[in-house]
Amino acid sequence: MDAIESLGYIPSQTARIFKSGKSYILGLVISQSHISHIMFNAGFQAQFKALTEKAHKEGYNILLITSAEGDSESYFEVIKNQVADGFIIFSPSHNDGLTSLLEEAEIPYVFNMKYSDKPEDHYYVSSDDVEGGFIAGKYLLDLNHTDIRFLVGNVKGGYLPFNADRIKGFKKALDMYHVPFREEMIVKVQGQMNESYNGIHMLFQTERPTALMISNEITTVAALNYFTDNGYRVPRDVSVIGFGPSEFFRSLRPNLTNVSYDISWASAKLVDLLLQRIEGKPVTIEMPKKPELIIRDSTARNMAR
């Protein structure tokens, strides 16, 4: 003990990890190109914060692993060359092949969200996005809106499963009120500020919907800015519903009506899920928590007809 003190001996963590095979590191894998899109989104910030907090609580730290490319091979390449007990994967798209590569290599992993509809890929904690789309749509229909647009993220011309689910819920609501669904109700928009702004500009050049559902926080801010810049009043001229952390939407003016779910709960569950996989325990699949509609000041009854 004297010697430790006087020599300033510090045990080598590297050797400890080497010997024990445990690093108490959770890798968060994200593609380099994706990181900018994600870093400025309120939902990701909340998820990231919650992930970090939960990991800390469980004695883990988060290693941010950046992959140059977003495809399965690059992801796998980067993952297998990393020291971590398990991986949380933020995928820019569907990444079909990745799961089998990881399974084969027996690397524990989870996804930050639903990327696939295959039941065997159930290594994520979902919110009930069908329900989310449904309650948003239903609320607008209740307010007498029928000319609704749902703005979703454009990923290589398509959209991610969680948006597919929200759309499904939206259609369900339309069905319930016997309002026919039209393809142009779904508007694919890039998630960054300028691209979103331009997308909304394009939309309002030719059309004049009375209500918007917006699946991305940055796009939501872009929309509000567009309305401010062009003299549209929210909610008098357009009603707007956002999807994401309720906290964030309270910092906007007007305070936004939004569909929100408990991201800090979901993030904690996701870490639990990963830790279970790391320890080789049987995995308990969580029922998705129902999202909630928080009604604030950006939605109003449609008086147009």
Partner DNA sequence: CTGTTAGCGCCTTCAA
Partner DNA sequence: TTGAAGGCGCTAACAG
In the list 73, 96, 207, 229, the residue contacting a copy of itself (rule: CB under 8 A) is 229
Task: Decide if residue 80 touches a copy of itself (CB under 8 A).
Answer: yes
Closest CA to 190 of 32, 16, 2, 33: 33
Q: Which residue is listed with tokens 């080598």?
A: 12
Query: Pattern 6-45, binding to a copy of itself, x per CB under 8 A?
Result: --x-x--xxx-xx--x-x-x------x--xx--xx-x--x
The answer to the question of residue 294 lying near a copy of itself (CB under 8 A) is no
Choosing among DNA, a copy of itself, none, which partner's interface includes residue 297 (Cβ < 5 to 8 Å by kind)? none
CB half-sphere exposure, 111, CA atoms < 13 A: 23
Provide, rounded to whole angstroms, the least separation between the CB of residue 266 and a copy of itself. Answer: 17
CB of 100 to DNA, least distance (A): 22
Cα 170 to the chain's mean position, in Å? 18
Q: Give 264's Cβ-side CA count (13 Å radius).
A: 9
Tokens read off for 159:
């959209």
* Kind plus residue range of the DSSP H or E element containing 65: strand 61-67
**Subset of residues 223 to 242 that bind DNA, contact rule: CB under 7 A:** none
Q: Is residue 56 at the binding interface for a copy of itself, with CB under 8 A as the rule?
A: yes
Closest CA to 54 of 305, 270, 244, 277: 270
**Residue 127 bridge partners (DSSP):** 289
Instruction: Please work out the total of residues on this chain that contact a copy of itself, with binding judged by CB under 8 A.
Output: 45
* Binding of residue 5 to a copy of itself (CB under 8 A): no
Handedness of CA 205, 211, 217, 223 (dihedral sign): positive
**Which option in DNA, a copy of itself, none does residue 228 bind, with CB closer than 5 to 8 A by kind?**
a copy of itself
Q: Give the one entry of DNA, a copy of itself, none that residue 48 binds, where binding means its C-beta sits below a cut-off of 5 to 8 angstroms depending on kind.
A: a copy of itself
210 in Cβ contact with 238 (< 8 Å): yes
Q: How far is the CB of 9 from DNA (least distance, A)?
A: 7
Give the binding range for a copy of itself (CB under 8 A) out of 80-88, 164-172, 232-240, 266-274. 80-88
Residue 59 contact among a copy of itself, DNA, none, beta carbon within 5 to 8 Å by kind: none
In the numeric block, which tokens belong to residue 94?
Answer: 């569907």
CA–CA separation, 29 and 75 (whole Å): 8
- DSSP letter string over 123-149? -S--B-HHHHHHHHHHHHHHTT--SEE
Site string for DNA, 13-32 (x = CB under 7 A): --xx-xxx------------
- How many angstroms separate the CA atoms of 162 and 262, rounded? 15
- Residue in 12, 33, 100, 230 binding DNA, rule: CB under 7 A: 12
**Cα distance between residue 57 and residue 140, in whole Å:** 40
180 binds, among DNA, a copy of itself, none (CB under 5 to 8 A by kind): none
Q: According to the binding rule CB under 7 A, does residue 6 interact with DNA?
A: no
Q: Which residues bind DNA (CB under 7 A)?
A: 11-12, 15-16, 18-20
